[in-house]
Amino acid sequence: MSVDVGTELPSQSFPVTRASLVRYAGASGDFNPIHWNERFAREVGLPNVIAHGMFTMAEAVRVVTDWLGDPGRLEAYSVRFTRPVPVPDDDAGTVIEVSGKVTELLDDARAKVMLTATHEGQKILGNAVAIVRLP
């Protein structure tokens, strides 16, 4: 794998549906109704049901782990949740778009990757950084 500062990872789009969130609620144990109950979400001032931040974070990093071919090569990962992802009530749901770029080569064949995740053209994760061991 030839990697340099500036190397771009293959971008990916990830669908997010209400069904994704019901599944993620069970998988994560986070049953906050803002993630599955539109009435409740609107009552507390949200525009709609919103995706779990950790779900969005997990989806986004697939760009990195798919690129590496091995999730074990992800050494560290951090993001700021800057904007929620509202999920409409239909089968198509919505989509998040994720791209990544190598911004620094580190010691021990490691690299720093910055991710950009957007929803409808707006950034949803801030300062999304993955530290990886290169193959």
Write out the residues near its own copies by the rule CB under 8 A. 18-19, 22-23, 25-27, 31, 33, 36-37, 39, 89
Nearest by Cα to 115 from 28, 8, 43: 8
Q: Which residues contact 134 (CB under 8 A, 6 or more apart)?
A: 1, 3, 68, 73, 109, 110, 111
Closer to its own copies by CB, 23 or 80: give it. Answer: 23
Residue whose entry in the numeric block shows the structure tokens 């069904």:
19
Closer to its own copies by CB, 41 or 117: give it. Answer: 41
The DSSP string of 110-121 is EEEEEEEEEETT
**Cα–Cα distance between 79 and 72 in angstroms, integer?**
19
Minimum separation from the CB atom of position 124 to its own copies (A): 24
Closer to its own copies by CB, 20 or 98: give it. Answer: 20
Q: Which residues contact 23 (CB under 8 A, 6 or more apart)?
A: none
Closer to its own copies by CB, 5 or 19: give it. Answer: 19
Minimum separation from the CB atom of position 1 to its own copies (A): 37
Minimum separation from the CB atom of position 35 to its own copies (A): 9
Minimum separation from the CB atom of position 62 to its own copies (A): 21
